[in-house]
Amino acid sequence: MKNPMPRRSFLQAAGIAAAGSLAGMPRATARPPESTDKRPRLLTGCCAYSYRAYLQPGKMTMEEFILKAIDLEIDGVDITTYWLKSTEPEYLHSLRHLAFKHGIPFSGAAIRTEMCQPDPAKRAEQVEEIKKWVDATELLGASHLRVFGGKIPEGSTDEQAVEWTAETMKQGCDYSAQKGITLGIESHGGITARASNILAILKRVDSPYAGCNLDISHFDGDPYPQIEALVPYATHAHIKSMTGGKNPQELDLERIWKLFANGGYQGFMSVEYEGSEDAMTGVPKIINQVKELCRKYSSV
């Protein structure tokens, strides 16, 4: 589904209810996109990354992953592009056609980027990389592309890093808007380890084709108020049962689903499995949790 053309006033400074609960969160932050329908629409999904132990060594093809969605009985799949055989139109069209024949939408595609670059030339390289993958995402027939902010360079401030990241993402969004594709910056450590930085980036990008790929597991500090603050800007979600880092903690998925539902989120809750159990048995277990929660909290 393609989004309407951008309105210049899309993301402007505005207070958000959760700001007071976040240490260092500015009082005025990006304003989420306007919507006439706030009913939650929570769809089940799975990231190809969940099967990385099979995709990386070639024990599973991307075609087999797409068909795995039939067994999992989910609403869509997220294509982690690391294991695509090529970006040639013929190959990408074949994946698109396979998914269509089996009624499996692509919730999006995911790439690696390092947008937080102090060197203008390196920022320009990242813009070109985003453009290349926007074109590939269009060929796949998806409407969302996950991007990474990247690490904060040593000796740099958060303010500098926000500016560098926003400059790169804005140029990427200017291009993706021409294709009707939204860029979702993932909450994934580095410059995006705190919700306040993500909100600051989105405010500066100021585009309806910019949002947050809300990974619930990679925040510095208490994840729940940060998830709550980002839900209005979420364009896609990555779901795990544990936090990341050296001391993983179990996440309260029921509490998280309430935050998404109360925030009126409409989109995919895409499992990105990183557990120690074999994916063939571990993924279905968390998928079943996601199904139950989506049925419980979605108004659809």
Residue-wise pLDDT tens digits, 173-221: 999 999 999 999 999 999 999 999 999 999 999 999 999 999 999 999 9
Nearest to 130 by CA among 102, 93, 97, 167: 167
**pLDDT value of residue 14:** 36
Instruction: Label residues 110-123 b or e (16+ Cβ within 10 Å = b).
Output: bbebbbbbeeeeeb
Percent of the chain with pLDDT over 90: 85
Report, as an integer, the average pLDDT of 276-288: 97
Residue spans per domain, the chain: 39-297
Q: What contacts 30, CB < 8 A, 6 or more positions away?
A: 11, 12, 13, 14, 199, 200, 202, 203, 206, 233
pLDDT surpassing 90 at residue 2: no
**pLDDT value of residue 173:** 98
C-alpha to C-alpha distance for 8 and 138, rounded to whole angstroms: 24
CATH level 3 topology of 39-297: TIM Barrel (3.20.20)
**pLDDT value of residue 31:** 53
C-alpha to C-alpha distance for 150 and 115, rounded to whole angstroms: 6
Q: What separation in angstroms does the CA of 162 have from each of 8, 157, 203?
A: 20, 9, 10
Alpha helices in the chain (DSSP H): 52-55, 62-72, 89-101, 120-140, 158-176, 195-205, 223-230, 253-262, 279-297
CA 259 to chain centre: 17
- Helix/strand/coil for 77: strand
Q: What's the pTM?
A: 0.88
What the block records as the tokens of 168 is 């790169």
Q: What is the pLDDT of residues 6-62, one digit of tens each?
A: 433 434 333 333 333 444 444 334 555 565 678 999 999 999 999 999 999 999 999
Q: What is the pLDDT of residues 120-146, one digit of tens each?
A: 999 999 999 999 999 999 999 999 999
Query: What is the sign, positive or negative, of the torsion defined by CA atoms of 239, 78, 197, 204?
Result: negative
Nearest to 72 by CA among 56, 48, 95: 48
Task: Count CA within 13 A, CB hemisphere, residue 176.
Answer: 34
Single-letter code of the amino acid located at 279: A
Q: What share of the chain is helix, strand, coil (3-state, %, to 5)?
A: 45, 15, 40
Task: Work out the mean pLDDT of the chain and round it to a whole number.
Answer: 90
Contact 196, 174 (CB under 8 A): no
Q: Is residue 3 very low, low, confident or very high in pLDDT (cuts 50, 70, 90)?
A: very low
Q: Is residue 246 very low, low, confident or very high in pLDDT (cuts 50, 70, 90)?
A: confident
Percent of the chain with pLDDT over 70: 88
Single-letter code of the amino acid located at 176: S
pLDDT surpassing 80 at residue 1: no
Q: What contacts 94, CB < 8 A, 6 or more positions away?
A: none
